[in-house]
Amino acid sequence: MSDPTVPTTWRHFIGGSWVEPATGEYFDSTDPATRRTLYRAARGTAPDVERAVAAARDAFEDPRWRDLSQTRRGHLLRRLGELIAENADELALMESRDNGKLLREMRGQLATLPEYYHYYAGLADKIHGETIPASDRRVLNYTTREPLGVVGAITPWNSPLTLTTSKLAPALCAGNTVVIKPSEYTSATGLRLAELALEAGFPPGAVNVVTGFGAEAGQALADHPGLAKISFTGSTATGSRIAASAASRFIGTTLELGGKSPQIVFDDANVPNAAMGVVAGVFAAAGQTCIAGSRVLAHRAVYDELLERVCERAKSIRVGDPLDEATELGPLAFEAQRDKVAGYVDLGRAEGARVLTGGAATDGGLGGWFYEPTVLVDVDHGMRVVREEIFGPVVAIMPFDTEEEALRLANDTEYGLAAGVWTTGLARAHRVAARLDAGTVWVNTYRAMSPMSPRQGFKNSGVGVEHGTETIKEFTRLKSVWINTGEEPVADPFTMRS
């Protein structure tokens, strides 16, 4: 990846080797800032997925993995974290070129990414069951937490390394093996991650990657009968299809889906900080984050000041080359995403919204798929721009008068991923956090994340927990073992024992 004008070819990574796609076909991956072809990736289809799931199954049953002590599993995760740190510059550059995320944001993500592996490294030998006090003292009843088997991880393009890690690190920590299907727009870093896992000492087949399109490789993986679980991050529509497929086979899912997260700015807020929080919530990563704070509710007493501050900062955002340290807003990740964002702003105008700043596509001076940071006002909850996920640098700002009204509007959404609250009132902070229908609530901050802190989408934003110790339950199954230590003959065989 040293010269962006020279395409490289990536094959699938299956069973620890680079594997040609069954069809022999490849597709181009494009730098969204320049529209130059970056590399070609293998176009995966059902036979490739078949091969990857078989490799993952073989690895799962291989004594080198199955019988590895949990402590040693932890060592491997720690080593993988170290290798990521050693290769951080390369990975940051790769992802920045692939999806247009700012290189400095990627460097920041890479600085913390090893911590996810180190966190789960520490957890690996703390996964255990319990002894249950059975009523009959002669009976020993204990539980064990077992790995599930082969986990399918289907990941999106907006933060491939981080969002893949949210699945990969706990899945491996719990003793599973994994088949990853990255987004067709960002195939490279998942492949490199799998290569580093092999280098770290994970056995061949523990981490496999099949690249390709959602409707081909993704669907084939989601529907594969060999999976014990599917962990997915992406749109609510695709998540719903995957959940239905998984349900038909009675396998579990962890789904991290869309959002339309509110940020509430109260009249007792530190308004300059709140304005920066709004900017961070929706313009960072060009708004292409599931947690984008894309609906802002501002108390009428601070509405004008907040608007002025947000617009002022939005107008001064430096749009351009994501590799340039001075750039603040890079491109949208691909053309259709840029068109989707533009379409929503046009729709907002047609619905009666007023564009205070932004509202136009640009090529960022590089020929790429950029969109200006955009502030919409004169909006209400009947409009699609306020109800639907735009996934771009577009924020809708509206006033409210009472705390009760703010809560009603904040919760008036099909989603429940995250929410922001800006207030200096301690009691209000707790009161409002308790009543927000969202899995993550940030007070006087936004877009904070840690491997230690669990996150869960409420309502249509997801199923299950990622991060923290809680997610380990999603990657294990619980077995209850009963051992009769008594020597007495079995009494009445027709009654239930305890």
| Cα R_g (the chain), whole angstroms | 24
State yes or no: residue 155 binds ligand NDP (CB under 6 A). Answer: yes
Q: Catalytic site residue 173?
A: no
Q: Catalytic site residue 290?
A: yes
Using the minimum distance from each CB to ligand NDP, give the nearer residue, 26 or 266.
Answer: 26
Using the minimum distance from each CB to ligand NDP, give the nearer residue, 303 or 334.
Answer: 334
Distance of closest approach, residue 162 Cβ to ligand NDP, in angstroms:
10
DSSP class of residue 203? Answer: P
Q: How far apart are CA 87 and CA 91, in angstroms?
A: 6
Stretch that binds ligand NDP, among 254-262, 295-303, 344-352, 424-432 (CB under 6 A): 254-262
Site for ligand NDP in 41-70 (CB under 6 A): none
Q: How far apart are CA 270 and CA 332, in angstroms?
A: 31
Site for ligand NDP in 275-304 (CB under 6 A): 290
3 state SS for 285-343: HHHCCCCCCCEEEEEHHHHHHHHHHHHHHHHHCCECCCCCCCCCECCCCCHHHHHHHHH
184, 256, 328, 466: the active-site residue: 256
Q: Which residue minimizes CB distance to ligand NDP?
A: 214
Structure tokens at 467: 């991060």
State yes or no: residue 190 binds ligand NDP (CB under 6 A). Answer: no
Stretch that binds ligand NDP, among 154-162, 319-327, 399-407, 473-481 (CB under 6 A): 154-162
- DSSP code string of 375-403: EEES--TTSHHHHS---SSEEEEEEESSH
Distance of closest approach, residue 130 Cβ to ligand NDP, in angstroms:
35
* Residue 432 CB contacts under 8 Å (≥ 6 apart), including other chains: 264, 403, 406, 407, 421, 423
State yes or no: residue 386 binds ligand NDP (CB under 6 A). Answer: no
Q: How far is CA 461 from the centre of its chain?
A: 11
Distance of closest approach, residue 302 Cβ to ligand NDP, in angstroms:
29
Stretch that binds ligand NDP, among 92-100, 152-160, 167-175, 375-383 (CB under 6 A): 152-160
- Binding ligand NDP by CB under 6 A: which of 109, 238, 440, 460? 238
Stretch that binds ligand NDP, among 62-70, 102-110, 183-191, 400-408 (CB under 6 A): 183-191
State yes or no: residue 234 binds ligand NDP (CB under 6 A). Answer: yes
Site for ligand NDP in 318-347 (CB under 6 A): 337, 340
- Binding ligand NDP by CB under 6 A: which of 166, 177, 233, 374? 233
State yes or no: residue 464 binds ligand NDP (CB under 6 A). Answer: no
* Residue 426 CB contacts under 8 Å (≥ 6 apart), including other chains: none
With contacts defined by CB under 6 A, how many residues of the chain interact with ligand NDP? 29
- Binding ligand NDP by CB under 6 A: which of 34, 99, 158, 471? 158
State yes or no: residue 385 binds ligand NDP (CB under 6 A). Answer: no
Q: How far apart are CA 308 and CA 190, in angstroms?
A: 41
Distance of closest approach, residue 201 Cβ to ligand NDP, in angstroms:
28
Of 164, 160, 341, 156, the residue nearest 257 (C-alpha): 156
Using the minimum distance from each CB to ligand NDP, give the nearer residue, 142 or 213.
Answer: 213
Per-residue x/- track, 2-41, ligand NDP (CB under 6 A): ----------------------------------------
- The alpha carbon dihedral of 239, 243, 244, 249 has a sign of positive
Asked if residue 220 lies in contact with residue 79, where contact means CB atoms within 8 angstroms, the answer is no
Asked if residue 193 lies in contact with residue 168, where contact means CB atoms within 8 angstroms, the answer is yes
Q: How far apart are CA 153 and CA 455, in angstroms?
A: 17
105, 290, 403, 474: the active-site residue: 290
Using the minimum distance from each CB to ligand NDP, give the nearer residue, 423 or 456.
Answer: 456
Residue positions counted in the chain: 498
Residue type at 44 in one-letter notation: G
State yes or no: residue 243 binds ligand NDP (CB under 6 A). Answer: no
Of 387, 385, 331, 399, the residue nearest 361 (C-alpha): 331
- Binding ligand NDP by CB under 6 A: which of 303, 391, 442, 458? 391
Torsion region of 24: left, alpha or beta (phi above 0 gives left; psi -120 to 50 gives alpha): left
State yes or no: residue 214 binds ligand NDP (CB under 6 A). Answer: yes
What torsion do the CA atoms of 317, 112, 463, 52 make, to the nearest 10 degrees?
Answer: 110
State yes or no: residue 409 binds ligand NDP (CB under 6 A). Answer: no
State yes or no: residue 371 binds ligand NDP (CB under 6 A). Answer: no
- Binding ligand NDP by CB under 6 A: which of 222, 269, 282, 410? 222
Q: How far is CA 492 from CA 486, 488, 489, 495, 497, in A?
A: 15, 12, 10, 6, 9
State yes or no: residue 213 binds ligand NDP (CB under 6 A). Answer: yes
- Annotated catalytic residues are 256, 290
Binding site for ligand NDP (CB under 6 A): 154-158, 181, 183-185, 213-215, 218-219, 222, 233-235, 238, 241-242, 256-258, 290, 337, 340, 389, 391
